[in-house]
Structure 1
Amino acid sequence: MTTTAARPMTARLGYVDNLRILLTVLVLAHHSALTYGALPMWYWAEPSESLSGLALMAFVVANQLWFMGFFFLLSGLFVPGSVDRKGPGAFARDRIVRLGIPLVVFWLVARPVLSLPTWPARQAQGESFLTFWFTAGDPGPMWFVEVLLVVSLGYAAFRALRARSAARRGVLSGAAGLSGAADGVVREAAARPVTFRMVAGLVAALTLVTFVWRLAVPLGTYWTGVGLPTPAYLPQYVLLFVVGLLAARRGWLTTLTVRQGRVALIVAIVGVGPALGASALASAPDAGVLALVAQSLVENVVAVGAALGLLVLFRERFSGQPAWARFAAQHSFAVYVIHPLVLVGVAVLLSPLVVPAGLKFLVLLALSVPLCWGAAYLLRRVPGVARVL
């Protein structure tokens, strides 16, 4: 009996790029909801405790359960093939350019501009504008780029060490060296169907690691040194990035069945309510261990279910890419980088508008989505920018 190795993905997959577009729009919606909801954690906030403000807060909490972890999974899908083509060293240099430069530019330019509303108060305390410029605010949503750069470089280092180990074994074994075992190429595993047992094992692993991690890094922790607003979710981000790596190497995307996708999506949707309830219980001052375990379990059920369900749904129903989708996918990373400037600028212009929080959220989002893609298009036309964004 022979098996066919699953090659790592090297070509773009339309439905994966379409998922990136969806998630990028969700990022804009997430931060628009933070602008007007009952959870004011954004550069410009007009918090509301009204019913619609509370609904926006619930939307933010529900999003947080899964969508950034899914971003990391999608980001991991094309990494193995990229390392195969370029080698670990060239891949690492490329990641530093493609992720590091936007991170540094955002830190030096966009971050202080977004923090300008706090300048009068800091000036009144005797702070110089130069000190303000280099210390005010944090990288905001660029924390994702920061963490993605770290895990990508970690994978490149792993591949480099693995290749070096293989080379040493090849030197010690002349036959292996002659057969090419020391060429540093990772051998792909045979395609293996995804089973519900594998999915349950992933959820169990995520639950255990998340629970243990949150004993030291509880929800609500903020790491000021690196500007990471959600370090409590780091296990989900890292493990789902690894799942993306393995899915690419082992061909899992093609082996997921429609039934698995349907069940996963239903479970994720049904699980949102219990996940919000578990979060409320676990946030109580007297929350016990069982409440923390339940919270970790239900939110990871939602995260994994949403990821698997949407992957299958988009693979089966939304795999085509008309011209507008190709345009949107090509500019989605640039949109992610610049969207805080657009959202805050539009929100400032809308500040005199007195309407319910929910309606203002919809107006902000409706205006900002096309403006973000338009600004991204113009920015990428600047010579050299498209190389990075």
Structure 2
Amino acid sequence: MMTMSQSATIGAEAHAAPKSKARNLSLDRVRTFLTLVVLLHHAVIPYTHFGHTDPASWIGFDVVVLATDSFFMAMFFFLSGLFTWPGIARKAPQVFLRDRLLRLGLPFAIAALTVIPLAYYAIALQQNTELTFAAFWWKTVTVGPWPSGPIWFVWVLLAFDLTASLLYRVSTHLVDPVNRVSVRGFEQPAVFWLLLVVVTAIVYVPALVYFGANRWFDFGPFSVQASRILLYFAYFFIGVSVGAANFDRGVLSAAGQLPRSRWLWVIATLIPYCLMWGMIYIKRGILGNPDVLPHWYQAIYGTFFVLFSAAILLAILAFFLHSKSPGPNLLDRMQADAYGMFLVHYPIALWIQYALFDYGLPAIVKAAIGFVLTVILSWGLTAALRKIPGASHVL
């Protein structure tokens, strides 16, 4: 239990103009690891029950995709929020806006006009081998549909950053309650996990019941999953609050209890994950895989979803915080290029899948080829692009 003086000290530190934080090696590695998870996710989707677009499939990839889809984008938003509050404090509003537009807005616009049409052209060719890229591109940007693929994350993060900037101008005290829970998480990470679960259940479960899992809001290339937009903002703002102050004395401290209890968090992750599979069995085997799921089903599944998402976030962070490897390892070498790899990998992944489609190879072989080549080619392309003058400020 914190004393009143401790609470006051925490509040004062949260509102002081934060100094620029040094790079955190563990968090850098987590971001790069998650980028590789994104590439893996897109490499195996065609060979799953969910996204079965290839004759080959393997149930093991369903195990992977259920896990990745249930946490990695929320975790990206959490990590993206960690250094947002200090960044806003250090910069004038117009400077912060300029930097975010350069880092997020410009890459999104370029990728929406180039990377995404190139990616989906590989899918369109499977239906019409005579279709030219010029005709497909023109129809995409003028008539639609204009899917955003994975880059939807970029414009949504830009919107969240701008929202955080406005909230900072309203009151710097908004982050205090979660920041105090983060400090308690130094010794009691379960308290922080409970906060994550309660907040995300409140914003996600009703939205899932109302919208279902497949509804997306979209306008041109601007799209986001309807049931998850508030979930993502909750993770982002909780990340903002954790990073606002007392970072080295909070739940993400390498000296805290979280890394010491990492195996307990693995168990806490596996339990709701198995329960999610139980609900999938009920949907497919008992309910007959209906087009519209009952509200009770969505509510129960959504509860297991938020339990899993919060637990795996802490489990992954616990292992990376515990690691004492000084580096540089593969993740360290890839770190500077990770954002660019996220932006450019999608057409590479889809065109490799298109090239492998007619080959009678096992799903595991196709996915392994796709993943390895996607990593190598997207990394090489990003490294080359970053050599263009000024590109490193964007990528």
TM-score (norm 1): 0.82
Distance 1:201 1:279, change over 3 A: farther
> In structure 1, what is the equivalent of residue 183 of structure 2?
192
> How far apart in 1 are the matches of 2:325 and 2:46?
33
SS of equivalent residue, structure 2 residue 158: helix
Matched, 1:208 2:202: yes
Matched, 1:220 2:214: yes
Q: Deviations over 1:310-356 (max 9, x none)?
A: 11211111563416433311110000000012212333333343211
Distance 1:343 1:90, change over 3 A: same
- How much has 1:256 moved relative to structure 2? 4.5
> How far apart in 1 are the matches of 2:293 and 2:394?
46
Distance 1:318 1:23, change over 3 A: farther
Match of 1:154 among 155, 163, 171: 163
SS of equivalent residue, structure 2 residue 274: helix
- How much has 1:237 moved relative to structure 2? 1.2
Residue pair 1:207, 1:293 contacting (<8 A) in 2 also = no
Residue pair 1:15, 1:319 contacting (<8 A) in 2 also = no
Distance 1:360 1:85, change over 3 A: same
Give the letter aligned to residue 38 of structure 2. Answer: V
Residue pair 1:278, 1:298 contacting (<8 A) in 2 also = no
> How far apart in 1 are the matches of 2:148 and 2:295?
33
> In structure 2, what is the equivalent of residue 82 of structure 1?
87
Residue pair 2:78, 2:235 contacting (<8 A) in 1 also = yes
> How far apart in 1 are the matches of 2:224 and 2:167?
27
Match of 2:334 among 325, 328, 334: 328
Give the letter aligned to residue 382 of structure 1. Answer: I
> How far apart in 2 are the matches of 1:373 and 1:15?
21
SS of equivalent residue, structure 1 residue 331: helix
> In structure 1, what is the equivalent of residue 42 of structure 2?
31
SS of equivalent residue, structure 2 residue 183: coil
Match of 2:108 among 100, 103, 115: 103
Match of 2:139 among 132, 136, 149: 132
Residue pair 1:73, 1:242 contacting (<8 A) in 2 also = yes
> How far apart in 2 are the matches of 1:363 and 1:128?
30
Give the letter aligned to residue 58 of structure 1. Answer: V
> How far apart in 2 are the matches of 1:34 and 1:328?
24
TM-score (norm 2): 0.81
Distance 1:256 1:72, change over 3 A: farther
Residue pair 2:203, 2:230 contacting (<8 A) in 1 also = yes
SS of equivalent residue, structure 1 residue 159: helix
> How far apart in 2 are the matches of 1:189 and 1:264?
21
Q: Deviations over 1:266-306 (max 9, x none)?
A: 21123211122224546844754443222122111111111
> How far apart in 1 are the matches of 2:345 and 2:171?
39
Give the letter aligned to residue 242 of structure 2. Answer: A
> How far apart in 2 are the matches of 1:321 and 1:245?
27
Identity of aligned residues (%): 23
Distance 1:355 1:322, change over 3 A: same
> In structure 2, what is the equivalent of residue 171 of structure 1?
none
Q: Can you give the 5+ residue segments of structure 1 that lack an aligned partner in the other structure?
A: 167-185
C-alpha RMSD of the superposition: 3.0
Residue pair 1:15, 1:318 contacting (<8 A) in 2 also = no
> How far apart in 2 are the matches of 1:318 and 1:279?
38
> In structure 2, what is the equivalent of residue 71 of structure 1?
76
Match of 1:315 among 306, 309, 321: 321
Of the structure 1 ranges 130-139 and 291-300, higher mean CA displacement relative to structure 2 is found in 130-139
Q: Can you give the 5+ residue segments of structure 2 that lack an aligned partner in the other structure?
A: none
Of the structure 1 ranges 111-120 and 206-215, higher mean CA displacement relative to structure 2 is found in 111-120
